[in-house]
Chain A
Amino acid sequence: MRIAGLLGANALMLVTGLGLLPLLGAARSWRALVARLGLAYLCGIVLAGLIAANLALVRVSFGWLGLAVLTLVSALAGVWRLRGTDLPEWRAPSWTGLAGVATLAALLVEYGRAFAVAPLDRYDAWAIWALKGRALYSFGWADPAVLAGHEYRFANLDYPLMLPSLEAVDFRSMGAFDTRLLHLQFLLFLVAALSALYALERDRVPRLLLWTSLVAVAVAPAMFDQLLTAYADVPLALVLAVGICAAGRWLLTNERWTLAVAALCFAGALLTKNEGLLFVAAAFLGLLAAAYGRWRALILAAAADVLLFLPWKVYGWIYDLHDINYSLADSFDLGHISGRLGVGRIAFGTLGEEMVGPLQWGLLFPLFGLLVIVALATRPRALALYATVWALLSWLGLSWIYVISHYEYSSYLDSTKDRVIASIVLGGAALTPLLAAEIWTTVRAPGRPRSAGERTP
């Protein structure tokens, strides 16, 4: 009954997230909790992952017992926070909502059949992620004999541990290192992210547009292909996309809970993969550009992320873990850089082609780009400015990695180009419905101020 163990662990993460939402301020009543229910699962996964990854650094194994305690504490704290508040009221679901849920459910069930039988055979999946997940499962913590071992340098030891820690939680819950059922956790990431995006946008975006956008994200060929590889790129992209969307909503509404959700997701992105640092830094710069008047809140959110990221960096410093693919310090090695500047232009163009290629991500990125341009030309400029700064800096930053790397650039680019762009495409796709709704509202009522948030700065 390994599948029951896996699903049981995920059910506990869902309840953890339910308890967390009132603490983040996302639900101030039972009624609001029901309205924001969709956020709970992803928040629970990220919180469990962050805790498991950080505890692994100090010799604490996080399995059934840890997850149960976390769930209990989170649920009790949430219930305490919501005591005496408005109870939810029954509202009949709309036909659009029912059709959207049915479509996504049918698609995810079909995906589930594929994920439940997939072999773990892709290089990075076993050589990096599952290897670390198994080491955490077997040894109970980030034992440096493996996770900082000289013979394991090939496994990108400097990559952070949130995904392997979640894999280890799954292995403990299943009672076995099951490389087949492990794939289902990746599909559950998609379920969690889609429901989170729905919860974030449902009261800002027309239902039909929202459901269509969610189905378009789920059915993008690269979504299925890349999730099935059990690499970290799409989990990173999904967690980041929810953070990007929450931060976009914060720009529009200035609700504190949306920035709290964004900060949680950004911490998850930081602890999923090294590129997370680039995407999160770009997001904060975009937010600062679009809402510099709210810099205090942004500093607070960034500080929380740094605190959650710091233990992993300290572990890396103690055991002298370095990126085997590139070093940011090489940005200042003029001898190296001067001979490779042309690589930057090639990488920028190649990554751009990957993002707009319809057979990978459908039309998600072209739609995002189009709406950003329209929004910049019309009224909701704060959101468009944030989206532009974030996407461009992320794109340029990824391109720069190929410049500073010492690998032969064409091989490096060819082997990574299709997946590194996932975060930009999905982050953009998460913002697209918000952008469309803001443009539509502006076009219909051009003189009306959007909201308190939109008037800032």
Chain B
Amino acid sequence: MAGFAASIAIGAVELLPRVEDGIARDSKLTAAQRRHAAGDRLGLDPVPFDAFRATLRPRERYAVDVPSGVKGPFITRGEVVRAYSAFYFLPAIQVRKAGRVFHYRFP
């Protein structure tokens, strides 16, 4: 009992202020900021993503043209862009080669 009570005390002191901070921060996000939250976290420019997405149809095949970029702990920046494109452009389908190509260059 005492152990669980101590655990609750630690959690309450450590966590509850953070919860309030998170609510205050995230509740101010606009729809556009929310839509680009993942890309913003990665430091990607949202404009080319939005422009290309507006031209895509569901299930349309497209390819991604992006330089490899810097290597992170697991994958390169280019691979991050491919991954983000795969998520952001759904329900269009990313393939290796296609008539439609999304070009992205790092600033």
Interface residues, chain A, with chain B CB atoms under 8 Å away: 110-111, 113-114, 117-123, 126-127, 130-131, 134-135, 138-139, 145-146, 149-152, 154-155, 179-180, 208-209, 212-213, 215-216, 219-221, 224-225, 228, 358-359, 362-364, 366-367, 370, 407-408, 411-412, 415
Instruction: Return the contact of A411 from the options B12, B23, B73 (Cβ within 8 A).
Output: B73
In the complex, B22 has a CB within 8 A of chain A: yes
Q: With the chains together, A294 CA to B6 CA distance in Å?
A: 38
In the complex, B34 has a CB within 8 A of chain A: yes
Nearest chain B CB to A160 CB, angstrom units: 19
Other than the known A154-B79, A364-B7, what 11 A-B pairs have Cβ atoms closer than 8 Å? A110-B19, A114-B26, A121-B41, A134-B87, A134-B90, A154-B83, A212-B4, A221-B18, A362-B8, A362-B10, A367-B4
Given A114-B23, A151-B94: A216 in contact with B37 (beta carbons within 8 A)? no
In the complex, B68 has a CB within 8 A of chain A: no
Q: Which residues of A contact B59 (CB under 8 A)?
A: 139, 145
- The secondary structure that dominates the B interface is helix
Nearest chain B CB to A17 CB, angstrom units: 27
In the complex, B69 has a CB within 8 A of chain A: no
In the complex, B54 has a CB within 8 A of chain A: no
- The secondary structure that dominates the A interface is helix
Q: Could you tell me if A221 and B15 are in contact, using CB atoms closer than 8 angstroms? A: yes
Q: Could you tell me if B23 and A113 are in contact, using CB atoms closer than 8 angstroms? A: yes
Q: Could you tell me if A138 and B73 are in contact, using CB atoms closer than 8 angstroms? A: no
When C-beta atoms are compared, the residue in chain B nearest to A150 turns out to be B96
Instruction: Return the contact of A151 from the options B10, B14, B41, B86 (Cβ within 8 A).
Output: B86
Interface residues, chain B, with chain A CB atoms under 8 Å away: 1, 3-8, 10-12, 14-16, 18-19, 22-23, 26-27, 29, 33-35, 37-38, 40-41, 58-59, 73-75, 79, 82-84, 86-87, 90-91, 93-96
Nearest chain A CB to B106 CB, angstrom units: 18
Given A135-B91, A149-B93: A118 in contact with B19 (beta carbons within 8 A)? no
Nearest chain B CB to A120 CB, angstrom units: 6
Determine which residue in B11, B34, B38 has the highest number of CB atoms from chain A within 10 A of its CB, and name it: B11
Given A119-B33, A220-B11, A362-B7: A151 in contact with B82 (beta carbons within 8 A)? yes
Q: Could you tell me if A219 and B15 are in contact, using CB atoms closer than 8 angstroms? A: yes
Instruction: Return the contact of A219 from the options B1, B11, B23, B84 (Cβ within 8 A).
Output: B11
Q: Could you tell me if A363 and B3 are in contact, using CB atoms closer than 8 angstroms? A: yes
Q: Which 9 residue pairs spanning A and B have beta carbons closest together?
A: A362-B7, A119-B37, A219-B11, A138-B91, A411-B73, A121-B37, A363-B7, A212-B4, A216-B7
Given A119-B29, A154-B82: A216 in contact with B41 (beta carbons within 8 A)? no
Can you sample 19 A-B contacts with CB below 8 Å? A117-B29, A119-B26, A119-B38, A122-B41, A126-B38, A130-B87, A134-B87, A151-B94, A154-B79, A208-B1, A212-B8, A219-B8, A220-B7, A224-B18, A225-B15, A363-B3, A367-B3, A370-B3, A415-B73
Q: With the chains together, A180 CA to B38 CA distance in Å?
A: 12
When C-beta atoms are compared, the residue in chain B nearest to A134 turns out to be B90
Q: Could you tell me if A152 and B11 are in contact, using CB atoms closer than 8 angstroms? A: no
Given A114-B26, A358-B10: A120 in contact with B58 (beta carbons within 8 A)? no
Q: With the chains together, A130 CA to B4 CA distance in Å?
A: 35
Q: Could you tell me if B37 and A131 are in contact, using CB atoms closer than 8 angstroms? A: no
Q: With the chains together, A99 CA to B21 CA distance in Å?
A: 27
Nearest chain B CB to A133 CB, angstrom units: 10
Q: Could you tell me if A219 and B12 are in contact, using CB atoms closer than 8 angstroms? A: yes
Nearest chain A CB to B32 CB, angstrom units: 11
Q: With the chains together, A65 CA to B29 CA distance in Å?
A: 34
Given A145-B93, A219-B15: A120 in contact with B10 (beta carbons within 8 A)? no
Q: With the chains together, A367 CA to B73 CA distance in Å?
A: 35
Q: Could you tell me if B95 and A134 are in contact, using CB atoms closer than 8 angstroms? A: no
